[in-house]
Amino acid sequence: MKKLTLLRHAKSDWLDRSLRDFDRPLNARGLRGARAMGLYAAEKGMVFDAVVASPAVRVTETIDHFETAYGHTLNPDWDRRIYLASSVTLIDVLRGVPDTAGHVLMVGHNPGLEDLVFDLVADDGSSPLRDVVEEKFPTAALAVMDIAIDRWSDLDNRSAKLVEVTRPRDLDPDLGPQDDD
């Protein structure tokens, strides 16, 4: 059995239109959201054996603030393929994770992360949490899946059970949707 946790980068700043998309930093709400999710992961006792992440600035800053609140160093494997990747590419990245990793944290972007949930979790009515993701997988949200495989190379569609979805607004209403969402 493997466990996969997805973390969407926190809310980014769109004020400086001269920046490339890759270089956009987090805004103030994003910083708070990343810290809230890191604290939540620590309180839940989440332990990650491997971390794979997009090297985009908003992801690196999300990890920095998540890690500070989480209280443990994450040492991500920065993988450019995750930046704006499709679900197919994300599955390919995960298939390359060493089998010694029982619990993987993947930090990246939508729509890829959301689509990954849809591809890995069957749409058969057995997971009300899938409906939560379908409604919206907002910035800084976490999705945790149990996957009935022994080797990451065996990861395939419909192989996961979604066991948890946590959004920043679930932890602090001030981190919920704003007029700019």
* pLDDT tens for each residue of 116-152: 999 999 998 888 899 999 999 999 999 999 999 999 9
Residue 92 has pLDDT above 80, yes or no: yes
In a domain, 19, yes or no: no
Torsion, Cα 164 150 125 46, to 10 degrees, reads 0
In a domain, 143, yes or no: yes
Per the confidence metrics, is the pTM higher than 0.85?
yes
- Given a contact cutoff of 8 angstroms between Cβ atoms, the answer to whether 4 and 149 are in contact is no
In a domain, 40, yes or no: yes
Q: How far apart are CA 113 and CA 6, in angstroms?
A: 7
Number of domains in the chain: 1
In a domain, 178, yes or no: no
The CATH number given to whatever domain includes residue 117 is 3.40.50.1240
Domain membership of residue 68 as a residue range:
2-9+24-123+130-173
* pLDDT tens for each residue of 58-90: 999 999 999 999 999 999 999 999 999 999 999
* pLDDT tens for each residue of 3-41: 999 999 999 998 888 899 999 999 999 999 999 999 999
- Residues sharing a CB contact under 8 Å with residue 70, sequence separation 6 or more, in sequence order: 38, 39, 41, 42
In a domain, 64, yes or no: yes
